[in-house]
């Protein structure tokens, strides 16, 4: 077991966990923040994306032990976040989700796009999204939603 102390969604957390525990399983099973989903556990699908110190990372291939001392934000931690609020509304209006499983990771990736690449156009948005798989929507609504938030920002 290894001791951790980190911040999740603003809350200070101390825990004692197995060395091999992934950050994703720590968030889900130990902290019961089940909005972070596991879609492949080998770093490809993006469903488990969370922010670590403000940057999106794959929580499935990041050890909980490595997250010691960091600040984690999960999908449950964006209540007062403006870009996320805009994205949520845009996802809703553009039918950017169906089953909802990829949605938390998709939103966090989308937030990274709209904050890091304010000038991105459709091709760039698609390229940046390539690491987040959605099996339901064909990405139509997701791309539209992100572009609409980018457009708002540029207006």
Which stretches within the chain are classed as H helix?
Answer: 23-25, 82-93, 103-116, 122-129, 140-154
Give the whole-angstrom CA distance, residue 75 versus residue 104. 6
4 binds another protein (CB under 8 A): no
Pick out residues in 12-31 that bind another protein (CB under 8 A): 18-22, 25, 28-29
Of 47, 72, 149, 150, which lies in the binding site for another protein, with binding defined by CB under 8 A? 47
Residue from the set 6, 8, 26, 37 that interacts with another protein by CB under 8 A: 37
With CB under 8 A as the contact rule, the residue among 7, 76, 81, 115 that binds another protein is 76
Residues 82, 114: Cα–Cα separation, whole Å: 11
> Of 13, 15, 44, 120, which one interacts with another protein (CB under 8 A)?
44
Q: Is 10 in the site for another protein (CB under 8 A)?
A: no
Distance CA 138, CA 128 (A): 15
Our measurement of the distance from residue 153's CA atom to the centroid of its chain's CA atoms, rounded to an integer in Å, reads: 20
Do β-strands 55-58 and 11-17 pair in parallel, antiparallel, or remain unpaired?
unpaired
Please pick, from the candidates 6, 8, 83, 88, the single residue that binds another protein as defined by CB under 8 A.
88
Q: Does 86 bind another protein (CB under 8 A)?
A: no
Nearest distance in Å: CB 26, another protein: 12
Q: Segment 95-154, which members bind another protein (CB under 8 A)?
A: 95, 97-104, 107, 109, 112, 116, 122, 125-143
DSSP 101: S
Distance CA 36, CA 104 (A): 6
Specify the residue, 66 or 152, whose C-beta has the smaller distance to another protein.
66
């Amino acid at each position: 077991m290894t001791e951790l102390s980190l911040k999740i969604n603003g809350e200070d957390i101390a825990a004692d966990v197995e060395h091999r525990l992934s950050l994703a399983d720590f968030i889900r099973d130990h902290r019961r923040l089940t909005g972070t989903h596991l879609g492949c556990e080998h770093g490809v699908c993006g469903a488990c994306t969370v922010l670590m110190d403000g940057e999106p990372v794959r929580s499935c291939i990041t050890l909980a032990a490595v997250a010691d001392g960091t600040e984690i934000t999960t999908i449950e931690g964006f209540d007062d976040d403006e870009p996320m609020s805009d994205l949520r509304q845009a996802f809703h209006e553009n039918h950017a989700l169906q089953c909802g499983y990829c949605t938390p990771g998709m939103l966090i990736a989308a937030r990274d796009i709209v904050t890091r690449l304010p000038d991105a156009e459709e091709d760039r948005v698609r390229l940046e999204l390539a690491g987040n798989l959605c099996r339901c929507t064909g990405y139509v609504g997701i791309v539209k939603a992100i572009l609409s938030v980018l457009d708002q920002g540029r207006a």
